[in-house]
């Protein structure tokens, strides 16, 4: 599963460099106006342990029909129930959102760091974290962003094999959640999947052994544990309606 947020030649997506972007600053506050009002984001098995303490981890088919794991942040499109006033009401922010407005692309057959100049996180003044030092070197902020991108990229590269193992053992089952929307109407979460616990429990020793050898059992159990956070999302939804 390649980390392809935007292609390298799309408008406003540029190869990051210390000449063109010498004065670039990035706003690090959290809120809808900075692009954080999203219902879900990509997740990687390597971060399931951190995610499961706060968010449900679900699976959904992408445009190519392949399953991908997601951290569920809200119960309807454009809703992030963890947003406060300029902050994020959870101790861990998913890597897929931490990395904004940077991404990884390929140039000259090498992985390169890109920046989305159309992102609302791009500062138009003195606000935000500097990306480069006055003499052209990388700031600590940029080094940290690069580390986040590297971790996310490696995690996404490993996700395909993890998902393939789940599919091979028929360990994904669909679920439906009825939710009450802020206007009093009711909606349903559909086309989402979670770990099929009964089928997992019924696997033979050989299959369990293969999952263990691949280091897949821990993220599987983390995904199962994370589903208790659905009740948290419902409580947050109700609190917003109060």
Predicted pLDDT of residue 181:
65
Contacts 24+ apart (CB under 8 A), 199-206: 199/169, 199/170, 199/171, 199/173, 200/169, 200/171, 200/224, 203/169
Instruction: Residue 174: name the closest of 194, 152, 158 by CA.
Output: 194
Q: Is 64 helix (H, G, I), strand (E, B) or coil?
A: coil
Q: What does pLDDT average to in each consecutive run of 10 residues of the chain (242 residues)?
A: 37 89 96 95 97 98 95 94 89 97 84 94 91 96 96 95 97 89 74 96 97 98 97 88 68
Look-up: residue for tokens 């897929």? 96
Alpha-helix residue ranges (DSSP H) falling in 77-168: 95-98, 140-168
Predicted pLDDT of residue 229:
97
Answer yes or no: are the C-beta atoms of 136 and 16 closer than 8 Å.
Answer: no
Q: Are strands 186-195 and 102-107 parallel, antiparallel or unpaired?
A: unpaired
pLDDT in tens, 117-174: 999 999 978 899 999 999 999 999 999 999 999 999 999 999 999 999 999 999 999 9
Predicted pLDDT of residue 190:
87
Predicted pLDDT of residue 241:
72
pLDDT in tens, 31-44: 999 999 999 999 99
**Does residue 49 have a cis bond before it (omega within 30 degrees)?**
no
Predicted pLDDT of residue 65:
93
For the CA atoms of 100, 106, 111, 116, what is the dihedral angle to 10 degrees? -20
Predicted pLDDT of residue 182:
63
């Amino acid at each position: 599963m390649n980390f392809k947020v935007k292609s390298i030649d799309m408008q406003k997506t540029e190869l990051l460099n210390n000449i063109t972007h010498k004065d670039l600053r990035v706003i690090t506050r959290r809120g809808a106006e900075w692009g954080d009002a999203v219902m879900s984001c990509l997740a990687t098995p390597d971060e399931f342990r951190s995610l499961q303490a706060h968010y449900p981890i679900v699976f959904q088919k992408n445009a190519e029909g392949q399953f991908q794991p997601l951290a569920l942040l809200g119960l309807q499109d454009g809703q992030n129930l963890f947003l406060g006033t300029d902050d994020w009401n959870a101790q861990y922010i998913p890597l897929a959102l931490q990395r904004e407005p940077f991404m990884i692309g390929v140039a000259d057959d090498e992985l390169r760091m890109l920046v989305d100049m159309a992102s609302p996180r791009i500062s138009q003044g003195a606000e935000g974290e500097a990306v480069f030092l006055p003499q052209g070197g990388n700031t600590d902020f940029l080094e940290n962003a690069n580390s986040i991108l590297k971790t996310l990229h490696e995690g996404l590269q490993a996700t395909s094999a993890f998902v393939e193992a789940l599919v091979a053992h028929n360990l994904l089952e669909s679920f439906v959640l009825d939710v009450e929307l802020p206007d009093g109407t009711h909606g349903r979460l559909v086309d989402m999947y979670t770990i099929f616990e009964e089928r997992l429990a019924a696997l033979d020793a050989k299959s369990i052994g293969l999952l263990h050898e691949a280091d897949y059992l821990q993220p599987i159990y983390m995904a199962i544990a994370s589903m208790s956070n659905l009740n948290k999302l419902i409580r947050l939804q109700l609190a917003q309606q109060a």
